[in-house]
Amino acid sequence: MAYDIQQVINMSQDELDKLFSSGEVGEIPDGEAKGTAIIAPGTPYNYAIAQVINFFAWQGKIFDAKTSTLKNEISPFGFRAIIAKVYKDDSWFDHKPCIVLDYSETSTVAQRVRDEIRKVADKQYLGKVYWGNKHLIDFFLQF
């Protein structure tokens, strides 16, 4: 079942957690994905916050499956920066396999960031962002 961004943006944290847990690892994605940050799940402000972040800060991720890396698309100008290593490992959330986006060796700015993604529908991934070992936010990727 494909998800409309409005469905995902309106989910509570519990619903996002269940969706992430039910997702599959799949293959490491390849290509450009539009991203939506999910900062305040289950609140009426979530969509507005996501729109502001999407315009001013983060638009998505560009994966290169051959090199197992990605770049984030950031700023209102869509700069491609903040590189991560991409690999499969167990999730910190539920200890099941996921795809890890690891910035610890590739970025000074995001050195303490670890993203985890799982495929929740064809060309759609749900992700969790960690700072150190603390869950911060979720995000949605559409290829």
The pLDDT tens digits along the chain (143 residues) read 899 999 999 999 999 999 999 999 999 999 999 999 999 999 999 999 999 999 999 999 999 999 999 999 999 999 999 999 999 999 999 999 999 999 999 999 999 999 999 999 999 999 999 999 999 999 999 99
| Residue-number span of the structural domain to which 126 is assigned | 5-142
Q: How do the residues of the chain divide into helix, strand and coil, expressed in percent and rounded to 5? A: 20, 45, 35
Residue 41 belongs to a domain with what CATH number?
Answer: 2.40.128
Looking at residue 119, its pLDDT comes to 98
pTM metric for this prediction: 0.96
Give the C-alpha separation, 15 to 126, whole Å.
12
Looking at residue 1, its pLDDT comes to 84
Looking at residue 73, its pLDDT comes to 97
Instruction: Give the total number of structural domains in the chain.
Output: 1
Strands 97-102 and 134-142: unpaired
Give the C-alpha separation, 59 to 17, whole Å.
22
Give the C-alpha separation, 15 to 36, whole Å.
16
